[in-house]
Amino acid sequence: MLELRPAVFSDAPAIAPLLAELGYPATADDVLQRLNVLASIDRGVVLVASDDAGIVGTAHANLLPVLHSSDRFAQLVLIVVAERARRRGVGQMLVAACEGWAKAQGCTRMLITSGEERHEAHAFYEAMGYHHYARRFSKRF
């Protein structure tokens, strides 16, 4: 049975390997520090999904204030489901919960960014009703 709940600091050791699966290696201490920063900012939500074996997915959404619109936006910053738990509805649950959180914050739109190479993720987002409409650019400092 899948359970969904807000992440707590003690989830850091279980979230770290999920981030590594997505290509963002992190230690439990790294994740704990990041959870602390996010908690201090208090403009987002981090959720975890678990089954009988433990945490199998996580998602992070933020409010995204913009100058060009009076509408409130949210951004799904991260979603990852453990390989062993994919195709079981975990991702759909996480996205739906983030959307519910965003609507409760008064948001009228959810934005998602996803790497060009993540074709399976793009198909998943499209199946969830999202449309590709823009390009994102990035510059590392």
Q: pLDDT tens digits for 56-111?
A: 999 999 999 999 999 999 999 999 999 999 889 999 999 999 999 999 999 999 99
88 half-sphere exposure, CB direction, 13 A CA radius: 16
pLDDT score recorded for residue 33: 97
pLDDT digit string, tens, across residues 2-37: 999 999 999 999 999 999 999 999 999 999 999 999
Give CA–CA dist 98/59, Å, rounded: 8
CA-CA distances (angstroms) from residue 19 to 37, 65, 131?
17, 26, 25
Question: In the CATH scheme, what architecture does the domain 3-127 have?
Answer: 3-Layer(aba) Sandwich (3.40)
91 half-sphere exposure, CB direction, 13 A CA radius: 22
Give CA–CA dist 23/113, Å, rounded: 15
pTM to 2 decimals? Answer: 0.89
Q: Is pLDDT larger for residue 130 or for residue 73?
A: 73
